[in-house]
Amino acid sequence: ALPLARHDWHGEWNYTLRAEEYAQVSDAPDPFDQPSPDLVWLCHPDLTGMPAHDWVALITTLTSLHEDQREADLDKRRGHRPRVKGDGHTGRRPVLTLADRLLATVLHYRLGLPQVAIAVLFNVHPGTINRRIRDIRGLLTQAGHTVQPADLQRAGLDDLYTLANTAGIPTTPEIKTPS
């Protein structure tokens, strides 16, 4: 996805990054309302218990509530002083997108997956999952949304993958070869 100028000799190894175009690429907003690409399969209605349009509506609502909450927290940390616009850098990118956080919360409350298993799935520390589930639970309460538990709870990732395979949900992303 980076703008490269490949050299004639072994262009797969020798290339120049076109900085002027890279600046335009890096200024694009993060897709904070989308799950990580390799975890999109977790959005399937058989796992979330929500049709796709309900998922999108919930993410939209939570995104708005999250932005409001973030601004209020930042305002409080600034001592209610006006915000000073900087050079456009807003700090490091979050490890988990808002959609990832919602997925982790749904997996925990709907399917009963332990937070340790969810942490392995998202490749983060269990403490991170615990904090993000707590944050999302607060946003879900503000939105008036309750995660409905599934009839059968899952004890671990093997159970999750079995459920996905039974429902015909492909769990591995399609790998595209370079052309």
- Over residues 34-73, the pLDDT tens digits come to 888 888 899 999 999 999 999 999 999 999 999 888 888 8
Same domain, 55 and 44: yes
Task: For residue 168, give the H/E element and its range.
Answer: none
Provide the residue type at 95 as one letter: V
Domain enclosing residue 11, as ranges: 1-29
Same domain, 50 and 122: yes
In the chain, % of residues over pLDDT 70: 79
Please return the burial class of 159, using the count of CB atoms within 10 Å of its CB with bins 0-12, 13-18 and 19+: middle
| Rounded-to-10 torsion of CA 164, 109, 58, 34 | -50
| 12-20 contacts, C-beta under 8 A, 24 or more apart | none
The two structure tokens encoding residue 13: 């190894």
Distance CA 94, CA 82 (A): 24
Same domain, 2 and 72: no
Give the per-residue pLDDT at 28. Answer: 44
Same domain, 25 and 105: no
